[in-house]
Amino acid sequence: MPRKTLTHLDGDGRPAMVDVSGKTATSREALATCRVRFPAEVARQLKRSGLRSAKGGIVDTAIIAGTMAVKRTHELIPFCHPLPIDGCRLAIDWDGDATLRIDCHVRTVHRTGVEMEALTGATVAALTVYDMCKALSHAIVLGPAKLVGKRGGKRDVGQV
């Protein structure tokens, strides 16, 4: 089995962007998820309000923020390539009594994958939910955030 190495280091061990110029552009997609766990009373209050706060619709705002984050991932993560985003969908719904599940599904046709874009979209959407709800409690917990799956490139991982 070949030894795994970090890809964002050059031959001298210095940070470097991966050169993808020799790769073929193919269809790529990734699905990431992040959870937002509320104290029980806060979750009940949010359900009663229809997930609306004084700042507006929590889910709608989080979807917009997550989508914006996907498109700007390369500005936030130093070695991410700017990618043409062909599709981005965020889904937010209750997962149990006090937890919101945020899924971010991203697609592109390019020489590199969109895992970081999906993870960034899911986590920024979660941060937006926190921001909109923090007046109710600072005991809101974000995470875990994780890659659920990716398709395209050298190997497929998980389910997209």
Of 19, 86, 131, 156, the catalytic one is 131
131 is known as an active-site residue: yes
Distance, in Å, from the CA atom of 145 to the CA atom of 7, rounded to the nearest integer, reads: 22
92 burial via Cβ count (<10 Å: 0-12, 13-18, 19+): buried
Distance, in Å, from the CA atom of 68 to the CA atom of 131, rounded to the nearest integer, reads: 16
Answer for the pair 33, 122: CB distance below 8 angstroms, yes or no.
Answer: yes
Backbone φ, ψ for residue 86 (5° rounding): -90, -25
Answer for the pair 131, 36: CB distance below 8 angstroms, yes or no.
Answer: no
Buried b (16+ CB within 10 A) or exposed e, 56-65: eebbebbbeb
Catalytic residues: 131
